[in-house]
């Protein structure tokens, strides 16, 4: 099966490309390289022996996408491409709606024109908004209390996929709601390497450990959690990538929705401790005020993916920290 990965040189896309190639799938990658580097293709080749065909195309370049689909003759699209900086989305909502929603409409129109009926969409736990409980399950109502335009775009795209599935009986869409991806490939050759200023905890911890950022700001220690700091479900990116392979194997008509998480919550202070144990050095941090829009504690109920996809996480936060240190050492050696 020939699969197109939009945003495939990104953090999750590149790890997914590796797992798909290992399973014998033919993978092609489309990316605008706004928040990733083309050298990732060489790393994918170093790890798998295969260098995926690459198209430098933007989601808003519909003609460029049409040419790619004309050549590609794909059977399935995994749609990672999108802007994902929560803070920036608050400042620039139109940029996020145009790129994420408008770009996805372009993609879906190309799929329709060229007879591609299967899509796996990279969604996010952020679509749950504030459910008032910590453990999140797929049948919960989404789109209520989402605190940023980035999360709204993910919700709107989910709704678009549901409506397209209603209108087209041949359409098969699987929505994967990620929790908090962390870690790197065990080779240490690829990892989270954003071009933009990171918002997420792990890339910031990585930059604090290399000295690029002076210290980590812990956003609040007065939540009703195990130690007062925010609790999230940190899933190893390789487990996440394998979740996509499991989804590829179980595509079906209509809409399928799955949480991809560990089912376990870890606090910010526990993440700091895990990183310090893996790195053998103290991580400078200070407790500051809460970040607007943050919830106290959220984690996945991943039982539906286990039941229907035969997938569950195998790696731990400690594995993610170990692999991240290996990646940092590799980056420092270049
Ligand atoms: C995690 C925890 C922070 C940074 C976001 C998106 C979500 C998904 C994952 C894409 C929280 C704390 C963080 C820092 C801190 N992204 N923190 N200091 O907010 O759970 O989710 O990323 O799909 O859509 O909303 O992730 O990594 O920003 O924060 O204390 O410098 O770390 O308060 O408790 P979040 P995060």
Q: What is the pLDDT of residues 100-112, one digit of tens each?
A: 999 999 999 999 9
pLDDT at 193: 75
Packing angle of the helix pair 11-22, 40-48 (nearest 10 deg): 30
CA distance 179 to 232: 8
CA–centroid distance, 37 to ligand 1, in Å, is 23
How does residue 5 score in pLDDT terms, banded at 50, 70 and 90? Answer: very high
pTM confidence score: 0.97
Residue-averaged pLDDT of the chain: 96
CA 66, 70, 75, 80 torsion: positive or negative? negative
**Percent with pLDDT over 90 in the chain:** 95
Mean pLDDT, residues 119-144 taken together: 97
The best mutation among 7, 155, 286, 291 to test binding of ligand 1, ranked by most ligand atoms within 8 Å of the C-beta, falls on 291
Q: How far is CA 71 from the centre of its chain?
A: 27
Kindly indicate the confidence band of residue 231, based on its pLDDT and cuts at 50, 70 and 90: very high
Beta strands 266-267; 231-232: pairing state = antiparallel
| Ligand 1 binding pocket mutation candidate from 79, 86, 176, 181 (most atoms within 8 A of CB) | 86
> Over the stretch 201-220, which tens digit does the pLDDT of each residue have?
999 999 999 999 999 999 99
CA–CA distance, 190 with 331 (Å, rounded to integer)? 9
Indicate which atom in ligand 1 lies nearest the CA of residue 180: 9
What average pLDDT score do residues 45-64 get? 98
In the chain, the largest separation of any two C-alpha atoms, in whole Å, equals 56
């Amino acid at each position: 099966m020939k699969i197109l990965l939009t945003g495939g040189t990104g953090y999750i896309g590149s790890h997914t490309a590796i797992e798909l190639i290992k399973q014998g799938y033919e993978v092609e990658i489309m990316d605008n390289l706004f928040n990733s580097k083309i050298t990732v293709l060489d790393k994918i080749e170093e790890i798998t022996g295969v260098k995926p065909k690459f198209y430098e195309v933007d989601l808003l370049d519909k003609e460029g996408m049409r040419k790619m689909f004309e050549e590609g003759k794909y059977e399935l699209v995994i749609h990672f491409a999108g802007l994902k900086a929560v803070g920036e989305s608050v400042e620039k909502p139109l940029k996020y709606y145009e790129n994420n929603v408008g770009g996805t409409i372009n993609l879906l129109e190309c799929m329709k024109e060229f007879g591609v009926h299967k899509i796996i969409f990279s969604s996010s736990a952020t679509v749950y908004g504030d459910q008032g409980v910590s453990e999140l399950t797929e049948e919960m109502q989404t789109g209520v209390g989402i605190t940023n335009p980035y999360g709204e775009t993910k919700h709107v795209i989910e709704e678009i996929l549901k409506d397209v599935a209603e209108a087209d009986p041949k359409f098969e869409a699987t929505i994967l709601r990620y929790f908090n991806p962390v870690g790197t490939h065990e080779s240490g050759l690829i990892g989270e390497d954003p071009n933009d200023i990171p918002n997420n905890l792990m890339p910031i911890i990585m930059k604090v450990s290399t000295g690029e950022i002076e210290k980590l700001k812990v956003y609040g220690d007065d939540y009703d959690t195990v130690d007062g700091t925010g609790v999230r479900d940190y899933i190893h990116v390789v487990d996440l990538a394998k979740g996509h392979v499991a989804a590829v194997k179980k595509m079906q008509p209509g809409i399928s929705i799955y949480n991809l998480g560990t089912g376990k919550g870890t606090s910010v202070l526990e993440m700091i401790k895990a990183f310090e144990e893996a790195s053998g050095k103290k991580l400078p941090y200070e407790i500051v005020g809460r970040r607007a829009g943050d919830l106290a504690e959220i984690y996945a109920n991943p039982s539906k993916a286990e039941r229907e996809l035969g997938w569950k996480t195998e790696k731990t936060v400690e594995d993610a920290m170990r692999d991240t240190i290996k990646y940092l050492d590799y980056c420092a050696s270049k």
